[in-house]
Structures are given as structure tokens and as C-alpha cells.
Amino acid sequence: MSKATITVLPGDGVGPEVTAQALKVLRAVEEKCGHSFTVHKRRVGLDALAAEGVAISESTFETCAQSDAILFGAVGSLPAGEDRSGGPRPEQALFRLRKEFGFFANLRPVRPFEALYGASSLKPEHLKGADMIFVRELSAGLYYGRLESVPGKPSEIRRTQQGTEAVDTLLYTEEEIERVVRAAFEIALDRERKVTSVDKANVLSSSVLWREVVERVAADHPTVTYEHMLVDACAMRLIRTPSDFDVIVTENLFGDILTDEASMLTGSIGMLPSASLGTRRTAGGMFGLYEPIHGSAPDIAGQDKANPVGAILSAALLLRHSLGLAQEASAVEEAVEAAIREGYRTPDLDEDGRTVVGTEEMGRRILDRLRQP
Ligand SMILES: NC(=O)c1ccc[n+]([C@@H]2O[C@H](COP(=O)([O-])OP(=O)(O)OC[C@H]3O[C@@H](n4cnc5c(N)ncnc54)[C@H](O)[C@@H]3O)[C@@H](O)[C@H]2O)c1
């Protein structure tokens, strides 16, 4: 029997809808396998801004710090880029959690289910054998000039005598690159032992350093084959021959974009889970934050239309990486695949001849499979 403490941060938009289903799955695992999970539910994002005046309160942050794992929904209310109020932003909560807990490695597995080949925009023959995991650097790069004005790392729009200009800084230290590349090579040891490192070394200095570090880490892993690939070529190869990839390691922005692209292999962005890990250990594994890769989807929020699979598969990653419950994690993944094989789909995966169900019903179908002996 395992004991664990989990903080649930449902957040905004479809976040509460999909995390509710993921939480039911965790409760079902707890009951079926005799574990004991203490769950704290707290506000985050716009939900917290409205009720507490900050995107994440100190007490919520402290509750997270005392937990073995965080299950996160999504934050934000408007489609990305449309909030120009200049006020506190809901995303600050996520940036703070990632930065202060040192979550530098963001794992995003992409394995299209055969039963969903028809829902993908690619032809089925291109999807056969596709099974990859992205290891995205999460705590540095372009996104981290934003939080405060760090000397030497500007990110701002500024007025000059020549006119208005904007600057963002893409800065990586050797250490920041090395820890995430090492994580990718370690993961490859348990898979097909192939790493693709994605960069833009023909243009960016940060990518030149990235390549140097990859060469050094690769030398410590002689049983892992590796290649360097430019990000533009990778974007193309992901669609042309996705089965070429095993472990893909890349910097923050490239990883953000490439994984949204890769989600289309699975049929919907609502399918993909993620795990954000650092170095802190728990009794069963690593302290981590688990969330679907999608945002708050304001266009479908509150309509029982969101696909809960990304959130439920994130709960499976939580069981595996933070609680050390690998068998239970696999059982959840198998229950998801079984429900999909039986033909149940949320509207984002609508195909002829399938049963379209809402968020709650999809969750219920997965729970039914999970509870079967
Ligand atoms: N980690 C996060 O919390 C996170 C990540 C990305 C975006 N955001 C925020 O979310 C808000 C909306 O951003 P966006 O519209 O660019 O991205 P989004 O991922 O929320 O939505 C993009 C598209 O995918 C669809 N979609 C997303 N999740 C789905 C699901 N579970 N089931 C079915 N369809 C789904 C949406 O309906 C929409 O058409 C913004 O405020 C953005 O900043 C938050």
C-alpha cells in the first residue's frame, strides 16, 4: 500500500472539467489497489486572481511544496495573446511553480492509438509504429525573460528615438542544457535507445552550445544512438515519418511548438499528457507537476465537450513518476485505450460510426474499464 499527498489545481476554462475526471481515476486506483491518497484542492490562475488577488497564493504554493505531486488543469481565459489588460496574468502561477520547484524536464509522450488513426489528419500508414517522447527544457530560454526584469535578460517593448522595438532573450547556461539532455539520455536507456536533439545551430548561439553539450553527454552513453536535427527539419519529419523518432530533446520554445504539432498525430491536442520533473525525490519517485498539454480552451469551456484523456493520462504519469506505481499507471493507460477501442469519443475526435460522448461520460467509460477485474 502507498500513501501519498496530491495537490490538485484545476484552474480555469476546461481545467476543472478534465481534472475532475483525472481525480476520479486516481480515486478508483486508490480504492482498487488499497492505496491512501490525501488530496488538497486549491485555486490557481484566473480562479485564484478573482478570489485571492494573485495567480497562486503563498498558502497554495506551500501546500504544493508539501505534496508528492501536483495535478494541474489549465490557466487562462481568453485565446492566447488576446489578453492585453496589462494586469497580473494567470500564467504567472504556472511559471512560478515550474521555476521555484525546479521543474526543468517536461516529458510529453506521443503514441497514437491504432483505434484513432482515422481521427488523425495523417494517413494511417504514416502513423504505424509512431511512439515517441519529447523531453522539453522547461525552466529557461525565451520564456524566462518575462517574470521579472533580470539584468542581461531583457524581455520588453521599449520606445527609442528611432521608434518602438521589442526584445526577448534566449539565454541558456551549460548547466541548464546538460541536466535536461542527461534526463533524455537516461529515458532513452529504457526505450529504443535513440535520441534526437533538436536545435537551430545554423543560426543561434544557444543552439551551438546545446550541440556541444549533447556531444559530451552522448559520450557518457555509448549504447544510445543520437542525432542532431534542425527544428525546421524536425517539424517536417514529424509529419512525414513520425516512426523515425524515439526520444526528442529540445529547448523550451521549440518543444512547446513541436508537441502541439505532434499532438495531431494522436487525433487531438486533448489527448496528450505531460510530466514536469526536477531533482526532488519523493518516497516513490520524483516530485512532479502533471498536466495535459492543452490550455483552458475557452471556446468549449462549460459545455461538457473537453476531451479528458490528456488529463487522465497525466494522472497515469503521476502514478508512475511520483508515486512509483508503474502497474497502476499502465492499468490507467490500458483503460483509456480500451474505452477508445470500444468506440467512445469526445467531439474533438468525432469520426463516422463512433459514439460521441461528453467529458463526464468519457471519464465514466474509462473508469468502467479500470474497475473491471
Ligand atoms: N498549461 C496551461 O495552462 C496552458 C497551455 C496553453 C495555453 N494556455 C492558455 O489557455 C488559453 C487558451 O489558449 P489556446 O486557445 O491557444 O489553446 P488551447 O489549448 O486552450 O485550445 C486550442 C484549441 O484546442 C481545443 N482544445 C484544447 N483542449 C481541448 C480538449 N481537452 N478537448 C478538446 N479540444 C481541446 C480548443 O477548443 C481550441 O480549439 C489561453 O489563455 C492560453 O494562455 C494555458
Nearest CA-CA partner of 28 in 336, 344, 268, 322: 336
Told to judge if 190 belongs to the known catalytic residues of this protein, a careful annotator would answer: no
Q: Kindly tell me if the per-residue pLDDT of 296 is higher than 80.
A: yes
Residue 122 falls inside a structural domain: no
Residue 178 falls inside a structural domain: no
pLDDT at 151: 64
Residue 288 falls inside a structural domain: yes
Mean local confidence (pLDDT), 133-153: 78
Q: Give the ligand 1 atom nearest the CA of 15.
A: 3
- Condensed to tens digits (0 to 9), the pLDDT of residues 316-326 reads 999 999 999 99
Residues 79/298, Cβ–Cβ less than 8 Å: yes
Residues 31/320, Cβ–Cβ less than 8 Å: no
Report percent pLDDT > 70 for the chain.
Answer: 95
Residue 70 falls inside a structural domain: yes
From the CA of 74, how far away is ligand 1's center (Å)? 8
Residues 339/286, Cβ–Cβ less than 8 Å: no
- Condensed to tens digits (0 to 9), the pLDDT of residues 167-196 reads 888 999 999 999 999 999 999 999 999 999
Q: Give the ligand 1 atom nearest the CA of 310.
A: 31
Beta strands in 267-340 (DSSP E): 273-281, 286-292
| pLDDT averaged over every residue in the chain | 93
Residues 197/227, Cβ–Cβ less than 8 Å: yes
Which of 8-22, 83-97, 195-209, 242-256 comes out lowest in average pLDDT? 83-97
Told to judge if 220 belongs to the known catalytic residues of this protein, a careful annotator would answer: no
Residue 309 falls inside a structural domain: yes
Q: Which residues neighbour 268 within 8 Å (Cβ) at sequence distance 6 or greater?
A: 119, 307, 346, 348, 349
Q: Kindly tell me if the per-residue pLDDT of 269 is higher than 70.
A: yes
Structural domain including 309 reads: 1-109+267-373
Residues 96/56, Cβ–Cβ less than 8 Å: yes
Which of the four pLDDT bands, split at 50, 70 and 90, describes residue 81?
low
Q: Max Cα separation, the chain? A: 72
Which residues line the pocket of ligand 1, CB cutoff 6 A? 14, 18, 74-80, 91, 94, 268-270, 291, 294-300, 306-307, 310, 348
Residue 95 falls inside a structural domain: yes
- Condensed to tens digits (0 to 9), the pLDDT of residues 234-263 reads 999 999 999 999 999 999 999 999 999 999
Residue 327 falls inside a structural domain: yes
- Condensed to tens digits (0 to 9), the pLDDT of residues 299-322 reads 999 999 999 999 999 999 999 999
Residue 161 falls inside a structural domain: no
Q: Which of 256, 305, 344, 348 is catalytic?
A: 256
Number of separate domains in the chain: 1
Which of the four pLDDT bands, split at 50, 70 and 90, describes residue 231?
very high
Q: Taking the model in full, what pTM does it have?
A: 0.94
CATH of the domain at 273: 3.40.718.10
pLDDT at 321: 97
Cell 531583457, residue located? 154
- Condensed to tens digits (0 to 9), the pLDDT of residues 206-216 reads 999 999 999 99
Dist. CA 197–CA 163, nearest whole Å: 38
Q: Which of 131, 168, 244, 260 is catalytic?
A: 260
Dist. CA 322–CA 282, nearest whole Å: 7
Q: Kindly tell me if the per-residue pLDDT of 124 is higher than 80.
A: yes
Q: Which of 18, 103, 269 for mutating ligand 1's site (highest number of atoms within 8 Å of CB)?
A: 269
Q: Kindly tell me if the per-residue pLDDT of 298 is higher than 90.
A: yes
